Structure 1
């Protein structure tokens, strides 16, 4: 990676997310979780497709700093994303997506079908996703 805010995203995941027509909050949360997995040694999106994959728990503030609007100091992005992703008709992306009681941590595990899109083969196409650009986006009111 050339910048700490970037991570490599398989073309299958990019297409899946594009076709899902998700809210900005949902996209921010998904990309923040993918970025977190990419930055942590021993963790990966592809590994979450395995039958014995464990849940991942992360400080909510880490995810908010990754993709929320600059200066954000609350977890509204996460709670809005959880609500949006739970709506009927939204494609299953997370198997587990639970905030702690005080909201300071988020436990997540990507659904196996989504996570398997993270498997990279030599000739697969990919995009370098810059989470700083996601943080700068604004949705229409």
Structure 2
């Protein structure tokens, strides 16, 4: 059973989120609204996917309790989230009723429709307490991917990074490793970064992420590559880069930190 601060987010919703360009405040607000829909309006989710569904009203104080960080004591972050929200997510998102409430109407398709999980569809249990303490859009994106894959037998995903858009891995990796280290401690899991090398340039061109948690069942030869450079392991709040020899020695390991 999910914790009170967690909500079920379908894979389709996560994919929609990743297609939009959110700011930190707008992404935190979106997750707060998704939590509210799941916890407070669950029985109305099917109706919300219909174009004729009317807007709902949520008190500012309620949203601030969900989206605000411990240091927040005013409405500035909530108002920034409204102002910076991408246009493709809501039909209506604005303060109303003397600026005491927020008037909300998701776009019926594809957004509200994605809230209703298909049979066998993958989902993530997103913890709002984790989201509101993360400090960048990249960190929240990484967390949602980890949450989506955690609990499977061989949790794996590709990092949303490419050198053409985000610069070389040697420069970009610091942000990703920082959030992985943080999550490894707070969520009690180990995270591997395994870069691949382009045969045309000899430089890193993609990064695969593998997760080791209580439910994963990695087999010998499946977790670590047979050889390679640039492999990084985040565990218990710390990250370590492995030499090629260390990677080769771990080829048959089923755990990130011990045989």
Tell me if both proteins adopt one fold, taking TM over 0.5 as the criterion: yes
**Contact persistence 1:69–1:136 (CA under 8 A):** yes
For 1:127, which of 121, 124, 136 is the aligned residue?
124
Q: Distance in 1 between matches of 2:4 and 2:44?
A: 16
TM-score (norm 2): 0.48
1:15 maps to 15
CA distance in 2, matches of 1:40, 1:46: 14
Matched-pair contact (CA < 8 Å) for 2:2–2:125: no
Give 1:43 deviation, angstroms. Answer: 4.6
- List structure 1 segments (4+ residues) > 4 angstroms apart after TM superposition: 41-46
Q: Say if 1:69 and 1:137, in contact at 8 Å, map to a contact too.
A: no
Are the counterparts in 2 of residues 57 and 107 from structure 1 also a CA contact under 8 Å? yes
Match of 2:24 in 1: 24
Shift of 1:16: 1.1
TM superposition shift of 1:63: 1.2
Instruction: Identify which of structures 1 and 2 has the higher relative contact order when contacts are C-alpha pairs closer than 8 Å and 6+ apart.
Output: 1
Equivalent residues of 2:67, 2:78 under 8 A apart: no
Counterpart of 1:38? 38
Q: 1:96 to 1:43 in 2, by over 3 A?
A: farther
2:108 maps to: 112
Residue 45 of structure 1: how far off its partner (Å): 4.3
The change in CA–CA distance for 1:45 and 1:73 in structure 2 (over 3 A counts) is farther
Following superposition, the deviation at residue 25 of structure 1 comes to: 0.6
Normalized per residue, the structure richer in helix is 1
Deviation per CA, 1:67-107, whole angstroms, max 9, x where unpaired? 2212422111221112112xxxx451011111026432101
SS of match in other structure, 1:73 = coil
Q: Distance in 1 between matches of 2:100 and 2:38?
A: 21
When normalised by structure 1's length, the TM-score is 0.85
CA contact (8 A) 2:60 2:100 kept: yes
What's the CA shift for 1:41?
A: 4.7
Deviation of the 1:44 alpha carbon: 4.4
Cα RMSD (Å): 2.0
Whether the aligned pair in 2 keeps the contact of 1:68 and 1:134 (CA below 8 Å) is no
Consecutive unaligned residues in structure 2, runs of 5 or more: 138-259
For 1:43 and 1:72, locate their aligned partners in 2 and report how far apart those are by CA, in whole Å: 31
Q: Deviations over 1:52-78 (max 9, x none)?
A: 312110111111111221242211122
Residue in 1 that maps onto 2:6: 6
State whether residues 45 and 115 of structure 1, in contact with CA within 8 Å, keep that contact through their aligned partners in structure 2.
Answer: yes
Structure number with larger C-alpha Rg: 2
Unmatched runs of 5 consecutive residues or more in structure 1: none
| Residue 96 (str. 1) matches residue 97 (str. 2) | no
1:56, 1:22 → 2: CA distance?
22
